[in-house]
Structure 1
């Protein structure tokens, strides 16, 4: 127990995947005591590693014997649970976007598929053929995939496609999303139990849109450390940072305008701005990520996304310092 800061450090082992919370997430630790689930402290995400759980303001009733179990719950988890409960209630009350959704899972009451729109032609689907540098065909939707593509597109409102590993589901999903966008779809939600599956499919969608010059706005949600390097520019935090950078660039103009009234040298104000709002901020971010890297007792492979983020910010720091100060 760290008496001065009222923190409790507990060696632990987690069932399932590693902790996947943002550094600023509010996470509480719960423990079942006398048949009741009780909050026993708040998790310090910044100091918690893959082997040591750090609790702030731990309750005196907490039990920390070997084999005792703690349950972690973030505000996001709680909000997500409430949203899911409301969604299930709407489905059960036939108030969902598809009122008869339950009936689709009951063989005796399953409605017939509704015809929605014409099937894509083979020529349409040939647009997803890919060729290697020698001009040889490297990928093409096969006949079974084309038939499935046509049925999924033309009939609804609910569809299910199954395929064993290695049958090209990721390329199929990316092609289907691209086709939907090309036909005027406005919003598409891509979700999966696996971060890697979302990363792979999203990367292929972006590649297809760039190849065909189709405008695309992508926002990738989830823990930044679980996002592939190619998708970092599309992560919600990166997009927010771009808006912050735009705000700072406009702030430079405002400060320059104020400078005329203060009577300070323009060069001094410009350099102060570059140090305070760019280099200093990047330095704090690099220090935070480096501390997190040093405390994480995890494999080198799992450290790669964190190392990539540190290197990205270091390169940006060097570039700004070189451009502004030589």
Structure 2
């Protein structure tokens, strides 16, 4: 039986990855900053809380990381920890850099120090690319991040590449474009839209206030993307991969899909507030995930339209 440690198991990706690994017969350890206080509601929602051995680990504390690795002795470590909001990173740039960049470095150094044959996955982000215009970003596209979050993720990416080359660690980064699900917290705009649309359809008279709805993103389905994470660690050679659907849509198209799913015309219920525009935002994001398709035999199974409808269905099931 393989043993996996997921750092950041309480988040969207951590919960779906935990479910996938349980289904594959892994012994799964889930790390959180304070396992005694965390609710692990996402694990409960997926019906797998009892299948996960939860433990406390602070990725910004090297001693905590090393102790955990020596105790668990995992075959695979998935680094999904750290501050996860682009918008919040402008308000908490130091916390963002420490939790993502320093956290990744601690995990890499602890793996190297331990001498254990651990395979390591690092959660990268399309935010590293910045604004590439109409160019579909692939693994060779230069990084020009436009947020503290993107800067932190870019630093972590190069740390992984350095440890892979210098110390021959089996360490890979998945450069994931936007991926959503019903487990997203409401601070993410997709979930904010879904919850507001469902409340309005249920009689609320509120107006949904949003920032720039003309941004364009490649939106996928989170459960598809964790399959790619697992596939990277099954390869003989570690490498980095762009993970995306290859289809880009404007946010207003996502809004339309969600409101149509609850029988409403979004234009009657949405207001744009320029004060909510980010200081520096990416106008459009395009992705080329051909390498993942060829080497990992991975492809996204859900389009943006399906994602929007699935998120609505997921919210209605819970309310």
Q: TM-score, normalised by structure 2?
A: 0.25
Greater per-residue strand proportion: 2
Q: TM-score, normalised by structure 1?
A: 0.24
Give the structure with higher Rg (CA).
Answer: 1
Greater per-residue helix proportion: 1
Of structures 1 and 2, the one with the larger relative CO (CA 8 A, separation 6+) is 2
